[in-house]
Amino acid sequence: MASVLGDTTCSLHPDRQSTARCPTCRQFYCAECITEHDGRLTCASCLRSRSESSEKGKMERRWVIAPFVQFALALLLVWVLFYLFGETLGDVPDDFHDGTIWE
């Protein structure tokens, strides 16, 4: 039984038999054209477009901070509300308390 790769040639080198298939673009490549990146086989052109997209991802990563900022703002808002709530409790006159809770 012939291997799946047996009849295929490198898409960049038609005279060479392919040794691997790029999982990203599904093209066959020879050992020279295929490289390993992050533990995954990838061809040179995919590696290039991948590094380009990761640079793009770096720019997009800045916006990932937004949820954390929103969380911090929400936390601050909650803190301010609790602070004002505490201030309101502090303004309650002492004779309001009948002492049952404290004694």
Cα–Cα distances in angstroms (integers) from residue 10 to residues 13, 26, 32, 34, 41, in the given order: 5, 12, 9, 10, 15
Residue 33 touches Zn ion, criterion: CB under 5 A = yes
H helices within the chain, ranges in order? 44-61, 65-91
Place of tokens 């505490």: 86
Among 20, 21, 22, 28, binds Zn ion (CB under 5 A): 22
Among 12, 17, 35, 41, binds Zn ion (CB under 5 A): 12
Question: In the range 75-94, which residues lie near Zn ion by CB under 5 A?
Answer: none
Which lies closer to Zn ion via its Cβ, residue 21 or residue 59? 21
100 sits in which H/E element: none
Residues in contact with Zn ion by CB under 5 A are 10, 12-13, 22, 24-25, 30, 32-33, 43, 46
